[in-house]
Amino acid sequence: MTKGTHTVSFTLNGEKQTFDTRPDEKLLTLLRREGYRGTKYGCGQGTCGACTVLLDGRATYACLLYAMQAEGRSVRTIESVGTFDNPGEFQKELVAAGAVQCGYCIPGMVMSATALMETEKDFEDEIVKEYMDGNLCRCTGYEKIWVALRKVLDRQAAEGNKPAAKKTSSKGAKNEQA
Amino acid sequence: MKLSEFIRPSSLAEARKTLRALGPKGMVLAGGTALHFMPGKTPVTAVDITGLGLSYIKQKGDYFSIGAATPLSDIQRYRGPRWAMHEICRRISTHQIRNVSTIGGNICRVFPWADLPVVLLAMDARMVVYSGKDKEIPADEYFSSQPARLFRDGDLLTAVKIPVLKAHHGFGSVKATRNATAFSLVTIAALLELKGGVIKSARVAAGSGIPFPQRLKPVEAALAGKEAVTAVFKEAAAAAGAAARWVGGEGMSADYIRQLAEVSILDALERAAEFARGRAE
Amino acid sequence: MNRHEKAKNFKQVNHSVIKIDALQLALGKDSYVADFVPRDALTIKMLWSPHPHARIKSMDVSKAEKMPGVKAVLWYGNVPRIAHCTAGQGFPEPSPYDTFMFDKKVRFVGDRVAAVAAETEEQALAALEVIKVEYELLKPVFSLDEAMAKGAPVIHDESEAHVPIPIPYEPKKNLVAHVACEAGSFEKGLKEADFTFDQTFETPYAQHCPIEPYTSMAQIASSGRIVITTSTQVPFHCRRIVAKTLDVPVQKIRVIKPRIGGGFGCKQEVLLDDVTAMFALRTGRACLWQFNREETFRTGRTRHPFRIRLQTGVKKDGTITAINMDCINNTGAYGGHGLTVVSCAGSKVLPLYHCENIKFDGKSYYTNLPVGGAYRGFGATQAFFAMESLMDQMAEAIGMDPMKFRQINHIREGEGSPIFAALGEGREGTPMTVGSNALAECIVQGAEAIGWKKRQDWRGKTGRYRRGIGMACLMQGSSIPDIDMGAASIKINEDGSFNLLVGATDLGTGSDTVLAQIAAEELETTTDKMIVYSSDTDLTPFDVGAYASSTTYLSGEAVRKAAADAKRQILATGAEMLGVLVEEVHCEDATVQNKDGSKKVSYSDIANYALYQKNQYQIIGTASHITKKSPPPFAAHFAEIEVDTWTGFIRVLNYVSTIDCGTAVNPTLAEGQTEGGTLNGISYALTEEYLFQNGRMMNASFADYHIYSMRDRPPLQTILVPSYEETGPFGAKSVSEICINGPAPVFGNAIYNATGARLNEFPFTPEKVLKAIQAVEKK
């Protein structure tokens, strides 16, 4: 990038950081430039989901967000989920189920699933499909991804959801009823 | 759409002032997803309004008030008495888009494929526009032509007010798509008021498949005072052909889209009637 | 999971071993081309033709060259003009050399005009804007009829266009390829029939939609050599073709394929690498070129649209007396794969059913439209739509259940077909009798799973929503015999691990894992002892690459042979260490031991001995393999659908894919291939299409070109039916292509079963379905 003209500060994977940027720069470009290459470019048009990151806990397309829209907010990428020694639950199940073929869609799938697991208590099929409908995969037919996801969700539901799970994030709508 | 600057005003008044000063060089930014569909080589300044407390859903007496910067996924998740907005919101685009795209962003500049204007027309919603002070504009007037016309002077949409459905009122919508998350081929929304099995009043709106969302007055006229039964709905739906200028889409002909619209109208009316009778939620 | 008798004792093969790279990918570790780009790499952008057919009268790049950040501009005026083919095929290719890096003519909307390499994407795009091009518009050709018409505009009028092998090629008539054969006499066979059929089918454009777009990066190594890291299915063909187009020796180029984000055939093409390499050479800098999604749709390769006229004759007793398949494909603006795809329409379909009189004629034509390339199924997909649609109609004419009709007619184990010898890919085929064949069992199991017994004739069906059940039988091939070659080498390390080096190309299919399993099985060790490195033209032995469903059957056998070679050495050294004759020992559980196990030495001990201690040498096995036959996998697909007869919308209620791939080396991965290919076939049949306006593809984004998301997927059931292919490594055949062939004919037959409407073209858009239903109701 030719020198940034602006800066943007946001919490990235739990750590507050400030980055050089330009008003025109998309969050995806900034993330990959700064070394967070687990978030992938698949279309640049907000249609395939390979660039899914969490913005204040909600799954979003990093290719559509301007980097400066993240100011003061919290961003989570795939790098925050699991390690070789300690993979995330869903990652473990994906590997075990044979659900990772080319793998290009998988980080995005994991982020959307993470949002689902951390936001909802009810993992009815319809809700799960709605959470995952923005992540395209051309290799697997979704079968084994679904099997792995259902396994993790059913286990989480059986174990009781974490108390931190909220219906919406702090930046979302406040549901007030008269 | 290219951005050359990014401003975050701290109040509604400041936002309006900034936008007035920028003129055509300024662009309201909420979710920002619509910017992708707007061509333009001349860079504009983004005026980010997500920090102005415009993201909420409240019920106040006879109305639900939805802040203009409320993401669609919040509307999708909300539940209130006889709430019906989730039906269409869960059908708009994908999860990631719904988390960021706002109700305001969907109705301030209306694209032909927009679903929310159709629903808001049927529901007789009122749009709250801030021009120094708040003004309420009923849907029929708001959507009488491209709403972008109302925001050229820096005025801002701040909220959408949706009447709480009364008893014996029912809402139904149908969005016909090739895939779950695709743009609509045709979107129909219907609001029926029944009394003793007879249609007391009807508002039926359509979008996609026509150049701009509108009410289908001939269809409404064919429903008024008649029994809320399938045969009546079918006959009313047949008036759709003349009620709007149907346009082909996705390689399919205008004649097919019209046929699809007629069936969709029938289906939407059945849903609205069922809702009104109290069998649906 | 059912195991075949002969596969019962396998310890690694026929087990669902965890895919070697699965965790790395799930964690988002650097794996793909774009993850390895140096910070100072230049960005390449291409100016694409806005016109479907035009001559470039003049071009001025001088302003672009001076733009800020621009390091080089390439256009026809400053690159070698070398006719070649972009198709990733063995040399000499059975495709015309009709492409130039940059030409003075553009032949489709999305053809190359000129390219820029600049410091940033923004700067590259700004430079494109100031390239001045003057076009002379030519009359475009947008359909097969227009291409074939007398006096049609000639799309390839350049003198250099030629074919490197003696095959028919008449560019002045826009004819790219022609292949024909006849077994018996079609005319005679038709006379013997009680019922005859003559129908024409049309199949549409489609794009593979790999989630990773085309991506290529080239750098100049410290040695001065060109290193290309690219998302490719054909690293060795890439090296050869780039060497040719740059006019440099093959020795100067190294091609590396890292992980890639899907291919499905579209990356069996050298579409970017010549330009990337040329920029690296000219600038001395690393250069990255990544297509955006729009470019992938427009300029990327596509599936060949086909027009297929199928004539058949059938007797009341169910004998198919005659088949004549006359097919023409639209290969778009360039001819790569045109011949081979049209050949496969015949060779992979016509042998499926017994028939003494089979005639085939296949042609390929140029048009000024996006370019057909290799796409999973490769002609068989298109032709099965025709064949399986007619199978149902023939069955109905003679009053036989369409499943029974297929059961009495399909090819059996031990049988051959004249088509195998008659139709190769650019040359004569290879005669073959079918070895393993579990199609009969596939049909039975699939029918059971879908509930075939409840299937009813459409004539009794009423109401808005009507259900129908359809089926199709399928076959494909495994490798291209006598033409393609794969090789492997395998060496031992101190801890009993092995480095397995293969040219074979893993697209995400898991071939690295599958090949490791084969090696481990042969070597009597475990898959986790294999370190696989693949697809690097400097370090791995040759392999044609991932296409023609050859990796398991061809490359797998090369791996098995290489492992056997290493095993011989391990046995010899083990025997030496134990002081016994080599005949007295065998390999078992990563040891060499005598018959009763009283004398035993581990692979690790053997490695240490051989590397360090005595008579030192590197235990390394190497082998190459060419196949002598192309044993077909077989499949039977079934589906139940629901048609909304008021709107024409189709809902898939249930889809069953059965597959006989011989021994499934990795059953989970085999299922995964089947599930993915089936779903791709489903959206191909129902929702994918190219919409054109004056030759420009208008719906070049996932918002407008519909592939399925998790929210759309219908219930899919996959049933692996084991057989044992004696000529394949541990009984294996191919698995990955065949599944995509099912949905179009299955749904065509199901729509008929639901409504009486027979559609001869797809995608089965709601409008087409509704029109067809209304036509039936009018009768």
- Tens digit of pLDDT at every position of chain A (178 positions): 556 899 999 999 999 999 999 999 999 999 999 999 999 999 999 999 999 999 999 999 999 999 999 999 999 999 999 999 999 999 999 999 999 999 999 999 999 999 999 999 989 999 999 999 999 999 999 999 999 999 999 999 999 855 444 443 333 333 333 2
Q: Label the pairing between strands C195-203 and C306-314.
A: antiparallel
| A152 interfaces chain C, CB cutoff of 8 Å | no
Q: How many contacts (CB atoms, under 8 Å) link A and B?
A: 111
| Torsion on CA atoms C547, C553, C558, C560, rounded to nearest 10 | 140
Q: Which residues contact C528 (CB under 8 A, 6 or more apart)?
A: none
Tokens encoding C569: 């050495």
Tokens encoding A34: 């700064």
Low-confidence ranges of chain B (pLDDT < 50): 280-281
Whole-number Cα distances in Å, C358 to C194, C315, C322, C403, C410: 17, 15, 6, 22, 15
Residues C339/C94, Cβ–Cβ less than 8 Å: yes
Place of tokens 């026929």: C14
Among A104, A134, A142, beta carbon nearest to C32: A104
Nearest to C291 by CA among A45, B3, B43, A27: A45
CB contact under 8 A, C211 and A104: yes
CB contact under 8 A, A146 and C710: yes
**If you measure CA to CA, which chain A residue comes closest to C20?**
A95
**If you measure CA to CA, which chain A residue comes closest to B34?**
A64
- Put simply, the chain C residues between 661 and 700 with a CB less than 8 A from any chain A CB are 666, 668-669, 671-672, 675-680
Among C691, C709, C767, beta carbon nearest to B253: C767
Which residue in A110, A125, A130, A143 has the most chain C C-beta atoms within 10 A of its own C-beta, making it the best mutation to test that interface? A143
Whether this model's ipTM surpasses 0.90 comes out as: yes
A-chain CB neighbours of C261 within 8 Å are: 40, 42, 50, 102-104
Which residue in B95, B259, B262, B265 has the most chain C C-beta atoms within 10 A of its own C-beta, making it the best mutation to test that interface? B259
Tokens encoding C146: 């227009």
Which residue in C24, C45, C211 has the most chain A C-beta atoms within 10 A of its own C-beta, making it the best mutation to test that interface? C211
Name every residue in C having a CB less than 8 A away from some CB of B.
646-649, 687, 689, 691, 699, 703-704, 706-709, 711-712, 765-767, 770-771
Residues B204/B223, Cβ–Cβ less than 8 Å: yes
Residues C33/C231, Cβ–Cβ less than 8 Å: yes
CB contact under 8 A, C647 and B260: yes
Written as one letter, the residue type at C153 is: P
CB contact under 8 A, C766 and B250: no
CA B240 from centroid of its chain's CA atoms: 19
Among A44, A94, A141, beta carbon nearest to C26: A94
What chains are in contact with C, requiring at least 3 Cβ pairs below 8 Å? Answer: A, B
Compute the nearest-CA separation of B221 from chain A (Å). Answer: 35
Instruction: Please give the backbone phi and psi of residue C565, each rounded to the nearest 5 degrees, phi first.
Output: -65, -45
- At C155 the three-state DSSP class reads coil
Q: Label the pairing between strands C696-697 and C692-693.
A: antiparallel
Among B3, B59, B75, beta carbon nearest to A24: B3
Place of tokens 């059953």: C667
Greatest CA separation found in chain C? 89
Nearest to C52 by CA among C134, C130, C115, C138: C138
CB contact under 8 A, B181 and C709: yes
What are the average pLDDT values for consecutive 10-residue runs of chain C, which has 779 residues? 93 98 98 97 98 98 98 98 98 97 98 98 97 98 98 97 96 97 96 98 98 98 98 98 98 98 98 98 98 98 98 98 98 98 96 97 98 98 98 98 98 94 80 95 98 97 98 96 96 98 97 98 98 98 96 98 98 98 97 96 98 97 96 98 98 98 98 98 98 98 98 97 97 97 98 98 98 94
Q: How many contacts (CB atoms, under 8 Å) link B and C?
A: 44
CB contact under 8 A, C264 and A105: no
| A76 interfaces chain C, CB cutoff of 8 Å | no
Whole-number Cα distances in Å, A83 to A80, A87, C25, C323, C379: 9, 5, 11, 58, 43
Residues C532/C24, Cβ–Cβ less than 8 Å: no
C-chain CB neighbours of B181 within 8 Å are: 709, 711
pTM of the shown model: 0.96
C-chain CB neighbours of A94 within 8 Å are: 22, 26
Which residue in C129, C710, C767 has the most chain B C-beta atoms within 10 A of its own C-beta, making it the best mutation to test that interface? C767
Compute the nearest-CA separation of C649 from chain B (Å). Answer: 8
Per-residue pLDDT at C46: 98
B-chain CB neighbours of C699 within 8 Å are: 250
Among A55, A68, A172, beta carbon nearest to B6: A68
- Put simply, the chain B residues between 41 and 100 with a CB less than 8 A from any chain C CB are 94
| B73 interfaces chain A, CB cutoff of 8 Å | yes
Nearest to B194 by CA among B90, B279, B87, B105: B279
Tokens encoding C251: 């020795």
What chains are in contact with A, requiring at least 3 Cβ pairs below 8 Å? Answer: B, C
Written as one letter, the residue type at C283 is: T
Residues A22/A13, Cβ–Cβ less than 8 Å: no
CA dist C517 and C505 (Å) reads 16
- Put simply, the chain A residues between 10 and 39 with a CB less than 8 A from any chain C CB are 24, 32, 37-39
| B95 interfaces chain A, CB cutoff of 8 Å | yes
CB contact under 8 A, C703 and B259: no
C689 φψ region: left (φ > 0), alpha (ψ -120 to 50), beta (else):
beta
Residues C422/C183, Cβ–Cβ less than 8 Å: yes
Q: How many CB atoms lie within 10 A of CB A19?
A: 18
Q: Which residues contact C434 (CB under 8 A, 6 or more apart)?
A: C411, C412, C413, C414, C415, C416, C631, C632
CA dist C742 and C468 (Å) reads 16
Tokens encoding C471: 């089926």
B-chain CB neighbours of A171 within 8 Å are: 50, 55
Nearest to C655 by CA among C683, C634, C632: C683
CB contact under 8 A, C687 and B256: no
